[in-house]
Amino acid sequence: MHAFYDERKRTSAFSWREFSRIAGFSSSNYMKLVCDGKSRLSKIGAEQVAVAMELEGSAKEYFREMVSFADSCDEKKKKASFARMQELAKENKVRTLAGDAYTYFGKWYNPVLRELAPMNPGVKPMELSKLCYPEVSATEIRQSLDFLVQAGLLKKNGEYHYEQTEKVVTGVAGCVRPTMRSMHKQMAELAAVAVENIPVEERNFAGVTMGISQETFRRVSQEIENFRRKVISIAREDQKGEQVYRLNLQLFPLTKRKEAKHV
């Protein structure tokens, strides 16, 4: 919940009052009390918060089990909730990074190789390096593959044969944010190169410049987040990967905010 709040706060004027309101609580600081460990969520409250965070399907069920695990005083119930959380994570093949996040997101080609190596069984590092845009040295490829295996993000099944241990990798918000800035910069630079070097039929670039309010900014930001989640869901279903793509979603100001006029 705190990670959700931090992310919304980072991209908008989101507040604890707003979080409490959309979750259906009359107390303006209730969500802060819950996140600070000074209050608990009931089953009904957990459902309200899940809806507020727009969780669906397995993500919503995982959240319910997290709440149950944290609040239950019964050891058997805690174990049952924890076991179900593990099942859900395994079923949906989602991996959350913490300590390894700095290394994983520090180099743009780490996420690329996590996708590329399993697509090309038996292909050596030198050959993989030539498949990357831009090319990466064979030494960097080897180091990246060794890290991915060591971190449990790839499983080695013979010489130069790899498979993913999870379909989706995410990060713990507080751990990832600093290194993600570097990742975003690297990917933005690669996008600029792609405009010039990648045939138009193999890429999709579009944009719009608009004058909007902060309220509209928040609405658009949420729509982008919903779309991002949908794309992840579609990609997760694909079992016949042929190429590694990067989708950048960017919404940023090109001017300073207009000063309010005082009468």
Sequence spans of domains, the chain: 2-92, 101-210
Strand ranges for the chain from DSSP E: 94-97, 154-156, 162-164, 168-171
pLDDT at residue 131, rounded to an integer: 93
Fold classification of 2-92 (topology level): 434 Repressor (Amino-terminal Domain) (1.10.260)
pLDDT at 184 over 60: yes
Q: How far is the C-alpha of 249 from the C-alpha of 78, rounded, in Å? A: 38
Beta bridge partners of 170: 96
Checking DSSP bridges between strand 168-171 and strand 94-97, what pairing results, if any?
parallel
Name, in order, each residue with C-beta under 8 angstroms of 4's C-beta and a sequence gap of 6 or more: 53
In this predicted model, what pLDDT tens digit does every residue of 219-238 receive, in sequence order? Answer: 999 899 889 889 988 988 88
Q: How far is the C-alpha of 193 from the C-alpha of 226, rounded, in Å? A: 28
Burial class (CB in 10 A: 0-12, 13-18, 19+), 255: exposed
Q: What value does the mean pLDDT take over residues 37-66? A: 87
pLDDT at 216 over 90: yes
Full DSSP string of 177-210: HHHHHHHHHHHHHHHHHHHHHS-GGG--------
Q: What value does the mean pLDDT take over residues 163-189? A: 72
State the pLDDT confidence band at 146, using cuts at 50, 70 and 90. Answer: very high
Name, in order, each residue with C-beta under 8 angstroms of 197's C-beta and a sequence gap of 6 or more: 133
Degrees to nearest 5, angle at CA 262 with 257 and 263? 150
Q: Can you give the pTM of this predicted structure?
A: 0.59
pLDDT at residue 203, rounded to an integer: 93
pLDDT at 205 over 90: yes
